[in-house]
Structure 1
Amino acid sequence: MDMKVNKRQGQLLNETIAQWQQLQLIDTQQAQQLRQSYRIISFDWKLLAVYSFWVAIACFILSVILLVADDYLMALMSRLINTPASVLTIISTLIAGGFFFLGVKRRQRYPEKTVSNEAMFFFGVLITAVASGFLSHTAMAQNWRESLFILIPTITYLIIGVQLRSVLVWLFALFGVGLWVLTETSYLAPNHYLFWGMNIPLRLTVIGALIIGLSALLKHNPRLLYLQEATLFIGLLYFFNALWMLTIFGNYDSLSTWSHIKQIELWGWSVAMIFLTLGAILYGIKYNNPLVRAFGIIFLLLCLYSRYFEFFWGTLHKALFFAILALSFWWIGSRAEKLWQLGNKH
């Protein structure tokens, strides 16, 4: 059976085969056989399936929200309120387990339908969070910390994500880890804001760095290798978003303190972000990691544009600012091109 690839992948394969043929690593017959081993598809149906299922899930959630506004449903909800929270916890837990069970059965029956199978797991994730919400209203949980009701579903997602080999459930587990750490450290902080001298953005940066480190460890574990890229994505998302917030808010303990400082006092965070994003770009180019490279490019531009609005919006003409940016990136591109040509000569 021919391998199906999209246009971008097909172009890369064609260029690679042509280069091998030019270097006489393969002959004309072998090149023709390689080209016949794959077929370029004109439309990425898998990507459409992914977007369609996400839209379907979003529409389902929206329909639930709209139904809440209905008088009949409101009357039904009022009757449910009289149901003990413990009973609702058990019911929602069973429903969540049912969704995970159906997802497993569906995957066994239709292993090729990865998108719809993961969508089934999403509903299990959603109802698990609802079950934790009901648990918080039970009599036995009245004195528990709020962070525990985030930790319980997070641990559930971690276990289920690994056991069911579900990247989607694992992603929600990593989101839950970040939310739990922030909630728990805010509770332990003396003023509910600074923990070990770190405000929320700085703590998020540390969380992101730790998750990136976890992704590096997963590389060396064949059983969990399928989770490596998703873990790296969440780590980079935490790290660079939090770092960008630090360039705006700094590591201050309150908004009132921050409102009295000048943005120029935060230049250190901006310099750190520029160096880290440039480092991510170089790392992504050197090791052919498009995910790290993309994060570096996006957040480098975001950092530069943010600094423009902070420092130069009222003083430097917009055309001049972007002209300076264009010249600087042109210089970087020219230097990179020269280095690339030198590398090809050896």
Structure 2
Amino acid sequence: MDIKVNKRQGQLLSETIAQWQQQHLIDDQQAQQLRQSYHVITFDWKLLAVYSFWIAIACFILSVILLVADDYLIALISRIINTPASVLTLLSTILAGLLFFFGVRRRQRHPEKTVSNEAMFFFGVLITAVASGFLSHTTLALHWRESVFILIPTIAYTVIGLQLRSVLVWLFALFGIGLWVLTETSYLAQDHFLFWGMNIPLRFIFVGILIVGLSAIFKPHSRFYFAKEATLFVGLIYFFNALWMLTIFGNYDSLRAWSHVKQIELWGWSVAMLLITIGAIFYGIKNNNALIRAFGIIFLLLCLYSRYFEYFWDTLHKALFFAILALSFWGIGSRAEKIWQLGSKN
């Protein structure tokens, strides 16, 4: 069996086989067989396909947002088509169902085309959002609040994503949950900007925690295990972005109130973020979780850069600030190296 790997994976396999050979875990014949079992590709076409589809999807998302958000454009399309919004809602719903149906048929016929199959489901997601936009202009829904038209497609994405085992549709469900929470809580908060004493970033701290907790439910032998990594990724995005914004804005209900606050008064949020990001890094290293480790590293650096621009931009020389950071991380690296060496000896 000839396995295709990229250059980095090929280098890792080659070094591993060479080490096994030096340690006499395998003989020369076995090492040669292992080297012939994989093939290093010079260009990662799969990665290019993934990026291309994601860029295309991002462009489609932008076009849908602009379409749904523009009431004038929706009304203009309705006048051009000369069809009631209720009929357009029904037709677009049927079209969305057909797109999901043909997407499943295509996946059954060509299961090897995983990237393009997932991208095909996006068109069903797109038309579902359009159907919700048309629904908002029907007489039945004239007095419904905006969050309802976000909740309806979000529920649809949740059910369809889990039933079809589609990571792409499930991602839209998770982002829809965040958008619904933002819209609904903002409506309930009205002009106070605080919902149960929490501003928007603090609310999303709990949204992120709940979604990260949801990812822990998906066990390896579960039918929904396919959604575990995507769920964890979205939950971490919500959580760490909200935490970073809290270190800048705090839990204030308006920009006017925040403008009278000195940044030094928000030091508690900064300390919390430093401890959480460092904890995420150590958790990721200990449990070999690259995703949590990466989030910890990225947001630790982001927190340090933010604090530098807030506290030390005008007072501390740039070279001195980064020298202090370099020495601190050198110390951490040296300590980690000693621990690693002790583990290797054992």
Q: Normalising to structure 2: TM-score of the pair?
A: 0.92
Residue type at the aligned position of 1:47: L
> Relative to 1, partners in 2 of residues 1:294 and 1:53: Cα closer, same or farther, differing over 3 Å?
same
Question: Which residue number corresponds to residue 279 of structure 2?
Answer: 279
Question: Which residue number corresponds to residue 8 of structure 2?
Answer: 8
Q: Separation in 2 of the partners of 1:124 and 1:175? A: 16
Give the Å deviation of 1:333.
Answer: 1.1
Residue type at the aligned position of 2:255: L
Residue type at the aligned position of 1:140: L
Report the count of equivalent residues: 341
Question: Which residue number corresponds to residue 145 of structure 1?
Answer: 145
> Relative to 1, partners in 2 of residues 1:62 and 1:303: Cα closer, same or farther, differing over 3 Å?
closer
Q: Is the 8 A contact 2:78 2:84 kept in 1?
A: no
Q: Is the 8 A contact 2:61 2:126 kept in 1?
A: no
Greater CA drift, 73-82 or 11-20: 73-82
Q: Separation in 1 of the partners of 2:198 and 2:148? A: 22
Give the Å deviation of 1:65.
Answer: 10
Question: Which residue number corresponds to residue 244 of structure 2?
Answer: 244
Is 1:196 the counterpart of 2:196 in the alignment? Answer: yes
Is 1:175 the counterpart of 2:207 in the alignment? Answer: no
Question: Which residue number corresponds to residue 29 of structure 1?
Answer: 29
> 5+ residue gaps in structure 1?
68-72
> Relative to 1, partners in 2 of residues 1:57 and 1:228: Cα closer, same or farther, differing over 3 Å?
closer
Is 1:214 the counterpart of 2:203 in the alignment? Answer: no
Q: Normalising to structure 1: TM-score of the pair?
A: 0.92
Report SS of the residue matched to 2:39: strand
> Relative to 1, partners in 2 of residues 1:65 and 1:271: Cα closer, same or farther, differing over 3 Å?
closer
Query: Which residues in structure 2 correspond to 1:256-295 (within 5 Å)?
Result: 256-295=256-295
> 5+ residue gaps in structure 2?
68-72
> Relative to 1, partners in 2 of residues 1:207 and 1:221: Cα closer, same or farther, differing over 3 Å?
farther
> Relative to 1, partners in 2 of residues 1:291 and 1:62: Cα closer, same or farther, differing over 3 Å?
closer
Give the Å deviation of 1:269.
Answer: 0.5
Residue type at the aligned position of 1:45: W
Give the Å deviation of 1:5.
Answer: 1.1
Greater CA drift, 187-196 or 239-248: 187-196
> Relative to 1, partners in 2 of residues 1:204 and 1:141: Cα closer, same or farther, differing over 3 Å?
same
> Relative to 1, partners in 2 of residues 1:342 and 1:117: Cα closer, same or farther, differing over 3 Å?
same
Question: Which residue number corresponds to residue 100 of structure 1?
Answer: 100
Q: Separation in 2 of the partners of 1:179 and 1:58? A: 17
Report SS of the residue matched to 1:222: coil
Greater CA drift, 233-242 or 5-14: 5-14
Q: Separation in 1 of the partners of 2:281 and 2:63? A: 42
> Relative to 1, partners in 2 of residues 1:65 and 1:273: Cα closer, same or farther, differing over 3 Å?
closer
Q: Separation in 2 of the partners of 1:163 and 1:170? A: 10
Question: Which residue number corresponds to residue 70 of structure 1?
Answer: none
> Relative to 1, partners in 2 of residues 1:156 and 1:281: Cα closer, same or farther, differing over 3 Å?
same
Task: Give percent identity, aligned residues only.
Answer: 80
Residue type at the aligned position of 2:86: S
Q: Separation in 2 of the partners of 1:124 and 1:262? A: 48
Q: Separation in 2 of the partners of 1:331 and 1:275? A: 17
Give the Å deviation of 1:81.
Answer: 6.8
Give the Å deviation of 1:221.
Answer: 4.8
Q: Separation in 2 of the partners of 1:127 and 1:111? A: 24
Q: Is the 8 A contact 2:64 2:126 kept in 1?
A: no
Q: Separation in 2 of the partners of 1:211 and 1:315? A: 41
Greater CA drift, 152-161 or 106-115: 106-115
Give the Å deviation of 1:255.
Answer: 1.5
Q: Separation in 2 of the partners of 1:217 and 1:75? A: 43
Q: Separation in 2 of the partners of 1:77 and 1:287? A: 53
Q: Is the 8 A contact 2:64 2:130 kept in 1?
A: no
Greater CA drift, 226-235 or 3-12: 3-12
Q: Is the 8 A contact 2:161 2:167 kept in 1?
A: yes
> Relative to 1, partners in 2 of residues 1:12 and 1:324: Cα closer, same or farther, differing over 3 Å?
same
